[in-house]
Homo-oligomer: A and B are copies of this chain.
């Protein structure tokens, strides 16, 4: 179902208040009113309906467990909002473990004065994102802080997934000769957020790439199992931070080929204008796979069957030299070191 269709089906319920107040976080009648007058109905499922302090789940075997708090500003941006991002972010972290995301917890920190209309829009996005990713919200929490002590809405999601039976994803499995693949063009999310923040306008709107990645990782694990050595999503700090961490922690070198790294032309143009490096710019709907060389082409082929991985490409490989460092070669054959970023080019990007 498209998000806009879902929106039509979920009109704003008749709340008898227009904004969030401190009392909505009290645990009393107003908290109940907030939840019962639409929120529970929207997110409805068997576990959530029990209204206990926690959910009871049946889990067997190896389970992946991951958490993220989302503080992005602005909360609405081209291509998504904080609600969709909060679901996808944790779904993707669980998927990066080689697991199939199943359950999420959902915890809000709302700022007093948040319009109910905005809260509802975010809830509808959450609903949409959970349906698309095939996960269920089974337990939650709502807190409200005084005006000026928060920023509209912060969301924490924590996810549980069942390990794919053929997955063996670990830093220790990364080997010399492994190929490094990105699932799609990079830097789109970061540039999208920056453009709204700065009020920049390009010929076409650059939309955030926020999306769930578990459908792709599942298909890859089904096809190649243990020949996939590592998944990582290069969010904050971008591809540069993620690969530097891998090189450092795996005690290996990484070499990238500049000309193979997919970047949308309008994103590249924006980066040039703004003096940003796409390698350091945050992503949301992109992951990297480090795989045995013999399956690299096959991985890219499968990724290309997905609309949102049309630009998947092999961008480099793992090498024995320059332990702990990431190098990049350009079209002329020159090489430079890609350093670990010190800070983020953009704070509050997710």
Taking Cβ atoms with an 8 Å cutoff, the residues of A that contact B are 21-23, 25-32, 50-71, 73, 93-94, 96-97, 99, 103, 105-109, 138-141, 143-146, 148-151, 154, 156, 158-160, 163, 170-171, 232-233, 235-237, 241, 245, 249, 282, 340-344, 347-348
Instruction: Verify A69–B347 contact, CB threshold 8 A.
Output: no
Instruction: Verify A28–B59 contact, CB threshold 8 A.
Output: no
Instruction: Verify A97–B52 contact, CB threshold 8 A.
Output: yes
Pairs A-B, 10 closest by C-beta atoms: A27-B236, A23-B343, A54-B66, A26-B344, A67-B105, A158-B158, A27-B237, A28-B341, A156-B156, A149-B151
Name A231's closest neighbour in chain B (CB-CB).
B53
Give how many copies assemble into the complex: 2
Chain B residues with CB below 8 A from A170, complex form: 50, 52
Chain B's nearest CB lies how many Å from the CB of A244? 9
Chain B residues with CB below 8 A from A68, complex form: 107, 141
8 Å CB contact of A340 from B29, B70, B93: B29
Instruction: Verify A106–B67 contact, CB threshold 8 A.
Output: yes
A-B contact list, 27 entries, CB within 8 Å: A22-B347, A23-B342, A25-B236, A26-B347, A28-B236, A28-B340, A28-B342, A29-B342, A29-B343, A32-B245, A32-B340, A52-B171, A53-B232, A53-B233, A54-B65, A54-B66, A54-B96, A56-B65, A58-B61, A59-B60, A59-B61, A59-B63, A65-B160, A67-B105, A69-B108, A109-B109, A154-B154
Mostly helix, strand, loop or mixed at chain A's interface? mixed
Instruction: Verify A145–B156 contact, CB threshold 8 A.
Output: no
Taken together as a complex, chains A and B put the C-alpha atoms of A343 and B20 apart, in Å, by: 12
Which one of A62, A154, A171, A237 has the highest number of Cβ atoms from chain B below 10 Å of its Cβ?
A: A154
Instruction: Verify B63–A56 contact, CB threshold 8 A.
Output: yes
Taken together as a complex, chains A and B put the C-alpha atoms of A22 and B73 apart, in Å, by: 13
Taken together as a complex, chains A and B put the C-alpha atoms of A54 and B160 apart, in Å, by: 9
Chain B's nearest CB lies how many Å from the CB of A190? 11
CB contact under 8 A between A57 and B67, given known A25-B344, A150-B150, A341-B26: no
Chain B's nearest CB lies how many Å from the CB of A70? 8
Instruction: Verify A343–B30 contact, CB threshold 8 A.
Output: yes
Instruction: Verify A69–B340 contact, CB threshold 8 A.
Output: no
Instruction: Verify B347–A25 contact, CB threshold 8 A.
Output: yes
Chain B residues with CB below 8 A from A56, complex form: 62-65, 97, 99, 163
Taken together as a complex, chains A and B put the C-alpha atoms of A39 and B210 apart, in Å, by: 30
Chain B residues with CB below 8 A from A109, complex form: 69, 71, 109, 154
8 Å CB contact of A67 from B28, B60, B71, B107: B107
Chain B's nearest CB lies how many Å from the CB of A5? 30
Chain B residues with CB below 8 A from A69, complex form: 107-109, 141, 143, 154, 156
Taken together as a complex, chains A and B put the C-alpha atoms of A241 and B70 apart, in Å, by: 30
Taken together as a complex, chains A and B put the C-alpha atoms of A144 and B69 apart, in Å, by: 10
CB contact under 8 A between A58 and B62, given known A23-B342, A28-B340: yes
Chain B residues with CB below 8 A from A59, complex form: 59-61, 63
Instruction: Verify B55–A65 contact, CB threshold 8 A.
Output: yes
